[in-house]
Every structure is written in structure tokens, then in C-alpha cells.
Amino acid sequence: MSRIHKMTFVVMTCSLLMLSTDIYGSGAGSKPKVKVLKISRISDMIKIAGMGSIGCPKSLELGFDDTGCISEMLVDEGDRVREGQVLAKLDDSVLRAEKVSMEAKLLAAQAEVKYYQNELTKKESLFNKYAVSDTEFQKALFELEKADAAVSVARAEIKTIEAKMAKKVLLAPVFGIVAQRHVDVGAVIMPGSNKVLRIIQCNEVYAEVEFGERLYPVASRAVEADIQVNAIPGRLFRGKVDRIGPEIDKKTRTFKLRIKVGNSDLALRPGMFAEAQVFVPNENVPVTIPLTAVIGRAQVGQGYVFVIKDGVSVKRPVIIGAVKDSSVEIVNGLEIGDLIVTDGQDKVSDLSEVIVEAAQEN
């Protein structure tokens, strides 16, 4: 069970869960009905501020897997590109000519197949009438098979040429931005030795923000952050804390917090100056519950409440903090998720079965 320690500068919001239970069968009327309050969440957050810059998680250097001369450059630096988009091409005129020639051979082979199919049909009819010899029939069958093989070879050659042509085309592997263009049209490319373009993947970016070392224990619990950049005034970007730096810089006495930020419209660009408001759950917030829920509060700082567990009331001691007009802070003894009896305590005792009737929201 986690302990809830006292802090005076924060408050706990306790939402009341509307619960109702219909009891059927004998014996239900003997169980007392109670109203409960559910300790559900902490509404207050600690905020810490830091500054840093926007970065992109992926930077990809792209090049061809073939040798050739650049015939087309279809993008420039700063252009947005989508996954699968054609970025550049190598000269493929020789391959295109080979493909046209092979497609002509395919058509010729297909025509031969049609011709020899007709011939085989005729020979088969005559063979059945004993008008032609078995040798002539087998020859017609052989010619058809040879024509079929020629079709298969032509199709395979076309696929091979198309695969070679595909290597002459550079495609974008991701959605991103062209950060750098290394070559121009006419450049000769060798596979693996020349880079053509550098793309940064920025549909999700990160803000790397610095904080003073005294905030390290607090920042380690950070969950969310609001990011602002000078280049886009008035706009807030909500992010999730990804990781905290493992060490403190010896010179600046700071550490870095990395925050992931969605960037589907690519508004955020690498290098932009960023200011962050990081939200940290306050684990030391006292629970505020109705004053009527606490029994024995006459004894200074101590009392007890009834907590419902699986339809049974459990008497639990609590440490009382500040008492207001109709509420009281519980410094210790409760945890998130507890169902606290707020009405009907006089009808229940420790480990007695109860019926949860209802509760009101505050």
C-alpha cells in the first residue's frame, strides 16, 4: 500500500463515483445500506520549466543500389515527401529499349503458341482418323511446347529487366522532409559509394530540454509536457516524456529530458528553440474527504474510516491533517481506489457486509 504524505501547497480532488447495487434473494434486507466516496485521482500537478530544441529521431541517407547517371532529381531541400514517392532516377534508356524488344518477342511467342495450338487441334483430329502418323502428331505437340517455353522465357526476361529498372528509381522509405541534396542531374553514381539525399523523419519529433540538477528527483516522475516554439507563437504542442538523461553535465550542472511530440503537419522542424512546461504527478498530496466520513476525530490527528472491500466494511485508522468547514485532509492511511463510507457509518461495524447504495459527485 502506498503512503500519502502531507504537503500544504497542493490539494486532492476526490471524485465521487455513482454506484448502485440491486440485491436479490433472501437475507438482503439485513445488510445496511451505505453511501461511498471513491478516491480516484490526483488533480494537481507540479510544473517545472526548461528550455531546449527540437530534434528528429531519424535521419536517413539515401542512395541507389545500381550504377548509372542521374537523369532526374524530383525533389529539393525542404520538400515534404511521402512514403513510396519517387525522389530521383538514373538513366534507364538502355533497359527501356531492351524491355521494348523483349515485349515484341513475347508477342511473337504468344502468336506462335496460338498457331501451334490450332495446328495441334487439326493434327489430333487427323490422327484419330488415322490420317496422319504419330510422328507428325508428336512434332505438332513439340512445336506447341517450344512456343509455350518461348513465352515463359520472354516473360521472365521482362521481369528481370523491370527489376533492373526498379534499381534505377530512388523511393522515399518514410514520410519526411528532404534535409540535404548531395548531387545534381548528370552525376555518376556508384552503388554504396555515393549518397543522393538525406531525409529526416519528422511526423514525430522530440524536444530535448535541459533542467538544473536539483530538479532531477522531481523530473524522474514526469509524464507529460506542453511545448512552445518561438517560430510558431501562440501554439501549444502536447508531448509525452520519453526518457530522462542518465547523468548530470559536469560543466553546466544540468540534465536533459526527452519529450516526444506528435508532428503530423510537420510544423515543428529540427533545431527550433523550444520552451517546455513539464507536468509531474505530486505523490505527496493529502487526500481530502468529507468531514462526516471520519469517526473518532475528537482525538487530535487520529481517527478511522470504513473502507468497502468486496462488499465488506473494513475499519481503517487514518492520520488527520487540516480540518476545514466540511472536509478534512487525510495525511496517511488511504490510497487511490479506496471506497470510503460517507453515510451510514452508524449502521456498520468492522468486517460487516453492506450494500453500496449511492454517492454524490462533488
Weakly modelled stretches of the chain, pLDDT under 50: 1-28, 42-43, 298-299, 362
CB atoms within 10 A of CB 82: 9
- In this structure, which amino acid lies at residue 289? I
Map grid coordinates 439485513 to a residue. 30
Can you give the pLDDT at residue 318?
A: 86
CA 148, CA 136: separation in Å to the nearest integer?
19
Can you give the pLDDT at residue 139?
A: 87
Q: What are phi and psi of 183, to 5 degrees?
A: -135, 170
CB atoms within 10 A of CB 217: 9
Q: What are phi and psi of 326, to 5 degrees?
A: -130, 10
- 211 three-state secondary structure: strand
CA 322, CA 299: separation in Å to the nearest integer?
14
What is the DSSP secondary structure assignment for residue 18, as one 8-state letter? Answer: P
Q: What confidence tens digit (pLDDT) does each residue in 288-300 have?
A: 888 889 987 644 5
Nearest to 321 by CA among 297, 344, 342, 337: 297
CA 219, CA 211: separation in Å to the nearest integer?
9
On whether the CB atoms of residues 156 and 108 are closer than 8 A, the answer is no
The kind and range of the H/E element at 101 are helix 93-128
CA 136, CA 123: separation in Å to the nearest integer?
8
C-alpha cell, 148: 509455350
CB atoms within 10 A of CB 314: 17
**DSSP codes joined into one string, 292-354:** GG-B-TTSTTEEEEEEEETTEEEEEEEEEEEE-SSEEEEEES--TT-EEEEE-GGG--TTEE-
C-alpha cell, 271: 533545431
- 213 three-state secondary structure: helix
CA 182, CA 165: separation in Å to the nearest integer?
22
CA 7, CA 29: separation in Å to the nearest integer?
43
**Cα–Cα–Cα angle for 64, 67, 69, rounded to 5 degrees:** 90
CA 31, CA 50: separation in Å to the nearest integer?
56
Can you give the pLDDT at residue 5?
A: 40
CA 70 to centroid of chain Cα atoms: 37
Can you give the pLDDT at residue 359?
A: 63
Residue-range domains of the chain with CATH: 28-44+285-358 (2.40.420.20), 46-57+201-281 (2.40.30.170), 60-88+170-199 (2.40.50.100), 93-166 (1.10.287.470)
> What's the predicted TM-score (pTM) here?
0.53
